[in-house]
């Protein structure tokens, strides 16, 4: 394990922001994490844990140490009548894990195909797409306390999963380094094709019999059409969460905006589309300097080349302000802003 000085993080974040870190090291095992924690140097400096860099916006130089988690390994750890338990190291690429499952006909995460990022970051965000969230297949994770070196397992209940949320973004923020995630994948397939355009895409593909691979292929086709490839156009996927508002307020908004989308979220709330709100405010396809809002997806902020993290953050502030002014709704960022 080698600690590097003044390293550019441009290749370690999907926005492609050329921001530097005072110190940088890549971690290949849990033993290396424990070794680092036990050293006196680690306890005295701030630390940023980095996975795939797909959900982060760097607006300033990172003072302290950046830990790039690169632990690898995927294995079936057990099974029972209903489930097969699959454990993946935190440094594994998420879509790589999906591909692993698809190739073996393991059902459960095919709807989460092509989501950028690492396995270790998935539970922090409770990643989700096309009607499935990580919590739906989650069994447990293993993590190491940043300051004590204590190794601990977290159940789904202990993770307190919510919409793009978990205990690791709240009560336990910056306290644990996730080292592995174990999924409970059903042996008897339960396919989810009702969300978004999956059924329509399967028809276009002329799929006769639905299976894990056909759903994954359909999701990949949809995502590639709608979302820009970060290796071509810097972005972090959806920048804002879809907001949840009270039923009464949604009814009031619908009088003035009859086409505003809404989906039940509990008994008294409605979840609406952040992308729709941003589009209605005139931001879709708009460019501001070296950054802007993607032409095909209003939720995606992009770096056209040379944009700073501060420029993208300021654009997001302007978007938030315009949505408040037009709809009275405050958007919440999905992306983790380092500022």
* Angle ∠(138,265,246) on CA atoms, nearest 5: 145
Question: What residues does 101 pair with on adjacent strands?
Answer: none
Cut 0.85: pTM above it: yes
Out of 49-63, 135-149, 170-184, 186-200, least confident range: 186-200
**How would DSSP label each residue in 33-70?**
HHHHHHSHHHHTS-EEEESSSSSEEE-S-EEEEEEEE-
For 286-330, write each residue's pLDDT tens digit: 999 999 999 999 999 999 999 999 999 999 999 999 999 999 999
**Whether 216 contacts 98, CB under 8 Å:** yes
> What pLDDT does residue 69 have?
95
For 173-198, write each residue's pLDDT tens digit: 999 999 999 999 999 999 999 887 89
Catalytic residues: 164, 238, 334
Average pLDDT over residues 207-221: 95
Cα distance between residue 89 and residue 92, in whole Å: 6
Is the pLDDT confidence value at 44 over 90? no
In this structure, are strands 336-338 and 244-246 parallel, antiparallel, or unpaired?
A: unpaired
For 236-272, write each residue's pLDDT tens digit: 999 999 999 999 999 999 999 999 999 888 888 999 9
83 CB-near residues (< 8 Å, 6+ apart)? 139, 184, 185, 186, 187
């Amino acid at each position: 394990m080698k600690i590097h000085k003044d390293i550019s993080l441009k290749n370690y974040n999907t926005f492609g922001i050329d921001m530097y870190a005072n110190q940088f090291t890549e971690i290949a095992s849990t033993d290396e994490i424990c070794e680092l924690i036990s050293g006196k140097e680690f306890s005295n400096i701030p630390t940023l844990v980095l996975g795939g860099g797909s959900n982060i916006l760097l607006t300033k130089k990172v003072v302290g140490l950046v830990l790039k988690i690169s632990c690898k390994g995927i294995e079936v750890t057990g099974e029972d009548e209903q489930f097969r338990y699959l454990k993946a190291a935190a440094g594994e690429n998420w879509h790589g894990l999906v591909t692993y499952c698809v190739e073996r006909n393991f059902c459960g995460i095919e709807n989460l195909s092509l989501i950028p990022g690492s396995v270790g970051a998935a539970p922090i965000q409770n990643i989700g797409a096309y009607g499935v969230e990580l919590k739906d297949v989650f069994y447990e994770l293993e993590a190491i306390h940043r300051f004590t070196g204590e190794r601990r397992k977290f159940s789904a209940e202990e993770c307190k999963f919510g919409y793009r949320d978990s205990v690791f973004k709240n009560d336990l923020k910056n306290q644990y380094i996730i080292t592995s995630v174990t999924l409970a994948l059903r042996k008897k397939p339960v396919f989810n094709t009702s969300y978004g355009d999956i059924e329509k895409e399967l028809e276009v593909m002329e799929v006769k019999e639905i299976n894990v691979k056909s759903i994954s292929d359909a999701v990949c086709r949809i995502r590639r059409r709608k979302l820009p490839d970060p290796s071509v156009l810097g972005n972090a996927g959806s920048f804002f969460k879809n907001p949840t508002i009270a039923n009464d307020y949604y009814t009031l908004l619908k009088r003035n905006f009859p086409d505003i989308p809404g989906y039940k979220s509990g008994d008294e709330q409605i979840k609406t589309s952040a992308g729709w709100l941003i589009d209605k405010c005139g931001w879709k396809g708009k460019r501001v300097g070296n950054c802007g809002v993607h032409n095909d997806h209003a939720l995606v902020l992009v770096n056209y080349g040379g944009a700073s993290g501060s420029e993208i953050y300021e654009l997001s502030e302007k978007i938030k302000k315009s949505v408040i002014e037009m709809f009275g709704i405050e958007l919440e960022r999905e992306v983790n802003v380092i500022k």
